[in-house]
Amino acid sequence: MKEKQKTYYVITFGCQMNYSDSDRLDVLLENNGLSRAKSELTADLVVINSCSVRQMAEDRTYGKIAKLAKQKKRPRIVATGCLVSDKIWQKLLGKDKFDLYLPVDQMIELPKYLKKWKLIGQLSIDKYEHYLDIVPRSDQKFSAYIPIMTGCNNFCSYCAVPYTRGREVSRKKKDILKEVGKLVEDGCIELTLLGQNVNSYGNDWYGGKNKNDFVDLLKKISDRKKLKRIFFISSHPKDMSDDLIKLVVSRDNLCNYIHLPLQAGDNEILQKMNRKYTREEYLKLARKIKKWIPEVVITTDAIVGFPGETKEQFEKSVDIFRKVQFDMAYIGEYSPRPKTAASKLDDNVAREEKKRRKRVLNDVLEENNLKKNHELNGKKLTVLFNKYFKGKLIGHTEGLKQVHVEGAKKYVGELVLVKIKKGLKWGLEGRIW
């Protein structure tokens, strides 16, 4: 009697990079003979691809592993993603709670453990130098994420990424362009390029660096006219070049959307964070982007309650939020990350004060957003619809503003002209024009 095929289930927490990594993990596991389970409760293998940027994401991961470990039929449990150390995990969870901690850049080693655990009979003949060589499959043919690099060399004092993902590694340009070409052939019209700091693309494992490598890559990708929308996330303010801004201005398919992490508005805190720019330099850059790209949407990241941040210093973050008028911000309360320089500092801002500061920034963001979205009332915007639910289409503009419209499912995956009826705090309502 033929043995039943073993199954897997991937749980993902975190940013777009984590979700893109999970797409590659799907292909790796399926190429090695596993099939995707309908749920984590029925899988023989559960892989948790987690985030360490915030303590909350790690807490969710610990809770999920503890819950899975209590199941009557316990699956093999593997942890990967932006996690710091298996020793920390074993201390928190106990060795019996999970089977393997595997750094994301060692993902290609996972099949060897599958064979050891007798989840597969033989290894796939596919050979990869790096996990980014795995070509993912996407459920949405019209939109895709492509990581162009992984890791980070900036060593911001609060961030564990250099310790979890390692130093910067850029993919070969020819491999990226080949993947882009295949996606376009399959009908992709929207592409998001991913990296911890896309501006420093070019620090590859062959060495060398051309300061315009990212601009050159963007030129080649945007030459493909079938690609109607191209985003890139994230840009480090210290590396945002005039050449890059000018290219966005000159190419119709490079979206008027810039994600520009601020983190803090006070120079002393920025220095402690090792961000390598001042508030004045950030504001000058934001003004330049707005001047050169008048319809630009700027989003950001911010941390409240960094060690030693006074109320007066926090108010300087509020000041920048009011001056730049961000369209969206991802605001986190500081939590110490293992191995980072900031983890050695006294985490001396009270939890309630961190929550208050987060509310203050959210209120400013909400006020800015509502005003800007009201200004779009009556305007016609092109929307890419990516979801359909109970007679409603959900999509986004070139500035990644969410739009809800009544319409038919046939519009999913299409760029459609929409007249905006109502600007809301966190999105727009409209009708197909």
Are 263 and 279 contacting, i.e. CB atoms less than 8 angstroms apart? no
Going by C-beta distance under 8 Å and a sequence separation of 6 or more, which residues neighbour residue 79? 47, 48, 50, 61, 65, 86, 89, 98, 100, 101, 102
* Distance between CA atoms of residues 407 and 319, nearest Å: 41
pTM exceeding the 0.85 threshold for the entire prediction:
yes
What Rg, from alpha-carbon coordinates, does the chain have?
A: 22
Domain limits, the chain: 7-116, 137-374, 380-432
Please tell me the predicted confidence (pLDDT) of residue 205.
Answer: 43
Are 268 and 278 contacting, i.e. CB atoms less than 8 angstroms apart? no
* Distance between CA atoms of residues 183 and 290, nearest Å: 32
Are 334 and 306 contacting, i.e. CB atoms less than 8 angstroms apart? yes
DSSP 306: -
Q: Which contacts (CB < 8 Å, 24+ apart) does range 371-379 have? A: 372/325, 372/327, 372/423, 373/401, 373/423, 373/424, 373/425, 373/427, 373/428, 374/423, 375/423, 376/401, 376/420, 376/423, 376/428, 377/420, 377/421, 377/422, 377/423, 378/419, 378/420, 379/419, 379/420
Please tell me the predicted confidence (pLDDT) of residue 16.
Answer: 84
Are 21 and 195 contacting, i.e. CB atoms less than 8 angstroms apart? no
* DSSP states of 169-193: EEPPHHHHHHHHHHHHHTT--EEEE
User: Taking the alpha carbons of 272, 273, 276, 277 in that order, is the dihedral positive or negative?
Assistant: negative
Going by C-beta distance under 8 Å and a sequence separation of 6 or more, which residues neighbour residue 40? 9, 11, 46, 68, 75
* Distance between CA atoms of residues 365 and 360, nearest Å: 9
What is the domain class of 380-432 according to CATH? mainly beta
- pLDDT tens-digit profile, the chain (433 residues): 456 889 999 999 878 888 888 999 999 999 999 999 999 999 999 998 887 766 677 777 778 888 888 888 889 989 888 766 555 556 556 666 788 888 888 889 999 999 999 999 888 878 888 888 888 877 789 999 999 998 899 999 999 888 888 888 898 899 999 999 999 999 999 999 999 899 999 855 444 455 568 999 999 999 999 999 999 999 999 999 999 999 999 999 999 999 999 999 999 999 999 999 999 999 999 999 999 999 999 999 999 999 999 999 999 999 999 999 999 999 999 999 888 999 999 999 999 999 999 999 999 999 999 999 999 999 999 999 999 998 899 999 999 999 999 999 999 999 999 999 999 988 999 999 9
In 3D, which of 74, 288, 83 has the Cα closest to residue 165?
A: 83
Going by C-beta distance under 8 Å and a sequence separation of 6 or more, which residues neighbour residue 383? 395, 396, 397, 403, 405, 415, 416, 417, 418, 430
Residue with tokens 């500081």: 334
Strand ranges inside 286-379, DSSP E = 297-304, 328-333
Classified by CATH at the fold level, domain 137-374 comes out as: pyruvate-formate lyase- activating enzyme (3.80.30)
Please tell me the predicted confidence (pLDDT) of residue 93.
Answer: 60
* Distance between CA atoms of residues 94 and 92, nearest Å: 6
* Distance between CA atoms of residues 190 and 187, nearest Å: 9
3 state DSSP class of 118: coil
Residue with tokens 């620090």: 203
Please tell me the predicted confidence (pLDDT) of residue 1.
Answer: 46
* Distance between CA atoms of residues 359 and 371, nearest Å: 18
Q: CATH classification of 7-116, choosing from 3.30.465.10, 3.30.70.100, 3.40.50.360, 3.40.640.10?
A: 3.40.50.360
Please tell me the predicted confidence (pLDDT) of residue 101.
Answer: 84
Are 321 and 365 contacting, i.e. CB atoms less than 8 angstroms apart? yes
